[in-house]
Amino acid sequence: IVSEGDDGTLMYMIRSGTVEVQVNGVPVEEISDGGIFGEMALLSKSPRSASAKAVKETTVIVFNRKQFMNLLKTRGEIVLKIIEVLIQRLKESNDTINKLIQKNQKALVFDSLSKWLQVKDNDANILLASEWVSRQLGMKVRETEAVIRQLVMMNLISLRGNSGSL
């Protein structure tokens, strides 16, 4: 129905059927009867951030920007539905981002420690490094220290002497 990167001049409401939404060719959502898609590109006047294809026989109602704006003015319940959809998609995006951050926490901490060590000529106090990395990544110091301990146990970094230097 639409392809990622296309101009977002139309929005769609599914009258019947099912549409699969894909980002970079990866399915991320299925939308069916009464669902909407294409609203983000239409509202932001930006290229489509996803592709959408019918996975079974589907009938859609198509709105251009002018029709959509008129609909928003005259049908308040549609505005509420669109806001609900946008909020749900935002929550799902935030959840995905948080999962990715947690999954890559070791890599993020390792990368930040590498940057810290470049500044400190490879001789850094672990406590100062933990605090700096925590600020950079928006983590609690205890969380950062736990990840650093994991990196030490994995032999990816080492501590020298009794001074707690990296």
Least confident of 14-23, 31-40, 155-164: 155-164
pLDDT tops 60 at residue 83: yes
The model carries a pTM of 0.57
Chain segment 60-75, per-residue pLDDT in tens: 999 998 998 888 889 8
d(CA 104, CA 137): 12
Q: Is residue 109 predicted with pLDDT exceeding 60?
A: yes
Closest CA to 42 of 24, 22, 62: 62
10 Å Cβ neighbour count for 121? 7
Q: What CA–CA distance (Å, rounded) separates 46 from 41?
A: 5
pLDDT band per the 50, 70, 90 thresholds, residue 123: low
Tell me how far apart the alpha carbons of residues 105 and 44 are, in angstroms, rounded to a whole number. 32
Q: What is the rounded distance in angstroms from the CA atom of residue 146 to the CA atom of residue 154? A: 12
Separation of alpha carbons 57 and 59, rounded Å: 7
Kindly report the average pLDDT of the chain as a whole number. 84
**Would you state the pLDDT for residue 162?**
45
Which structure tokens are listed for 158?
Answer: 């080492």
The band of 58, judged by pLDDT with boundaries at 50, 70 and 90, is: very high
4 pLDDT exceeds 70? yes
- Write the pLDDT tens digit of every residue in 136-154: 888 888 988 888 888 888 8
CA 161 vs CA 9, 23, 81, 145, 148: distances in Å: 63, 49, 61, 18, 16
CA 133, CA 155: separation in Å to the nearest integer?
A: 19
3-state secondary structure of 61: strand
Segment 107-116 shows an average pLDDT of: 84
